[in-house]
Structure 1
Amino acid sequence: MHWTSALAIYVLFWFLAVFLVLPFGVRTTHEAGGEHIPGTAESAPHVFLVGRFLLRTTITATVMFALFYLNYVNGWITAGMLDWSGVSRDV
């Protein structure tokens, strides 16, 4: 795999991880015991720590990419294993 392909796949995993990590560790103002500010959504986080969010996202994306790359190198799961239609595509 060329390094640019690996980088592009890692970026895809990173953006997927953004949506996986986003809901975890979020406490609303009500849950934190604070006073609701008019004009804000009740589901908005009380404090959004960007650094912690980016770190969690990067760690999650790195683990996912490492598993992907190990599968790519070792061939644990191949495209042929995922074809459940029973139709042979060998040409």
Structure 2
Amino acid sequence: MELISVLAIYFLFWFLCLFMVLPFSARTDREAGVETLPGNAESAPHRFRAGPVVLRTTIVATIFFGLFYANYVYGWIGADILDFLKPESMRTTVER
């Protein structure tokens, strides 16, 4: 796999993991015991800290990407494992 492909796929994993990790550190004003300021949504985070979110996202994305890349190298799960999705008429005689 080329380096640019590796970076592009990691970038996609990172942003997917960002949306998975983001809700875990969010606390609203009500949960923090502070009065909500006028004009703010009640669901807005009390104090957003980007550093820990970026660190957690990077860790989770690296783990998922590592599993993806290991699967790419060793071929644990491939398209042939999804054979049950093919209609019977499209399967070859060798597969039957």
TM-score normalised according to structure 2 size: 0.87
Alpha-carbon distance between aligned partners in 1 of 2:6 and 2:85, rounded to the nearest angstrom: 30
User: Which residue type is aligned with residue 50 of structure 1?
Assistant: A
Q: Secondary structure at the match of 1:22?
A: helix
Shift of 1:26: 1.0
Q: Distance in 1 between matches of 2:51 and 2:92?
A: 48
**For this pair of structures, how many residues does the alignment match?**
90
**What is the match of residue 26 of structure 1?**
26
Paired residue secondary structure (1:23): helix
RMSD (Å) for aligned C-alpha atoms: 1.5
What is the TM-score when the length of structure 1 is the normalising length?
A: 0.91
- Quote the Cα distance in structure 2 between the aligned partners of 1:40 and 1:89: 61
Structure with the higher fraction of residues in helix conformation: 2
Residue 51 of structure 1 corresponds to: 51
Structure 1 position 72 matched with structure 2 position 72 = yes
Aligned AA (2:13): F
Conserved in 1, the CA contact under 8 Å of 2:22 and 2:53? yes
Instruction: Report the Cα offset of residue 89 of structure 1.
Output: 6.4
Structure 1 gaps of 5+ residues are: none
Which entry has the higher C-alpha Rg, 1 or 2?
2
State how far apart, in whole Å, the 1-side matches of 2:31 and 2:19 are.
22
Where does structure 2 lack aligned partners over 5 or more consecutive residues?
none
Instruction: Please state if 1:88 is matched with 2:91.
Output: yes
Structure 2: distance between partners of 1:85 and 1:72: 21
Per the TM alignment, residue 60 of structure 1 is displaced from its structure 2 partner at its CA by 1.0
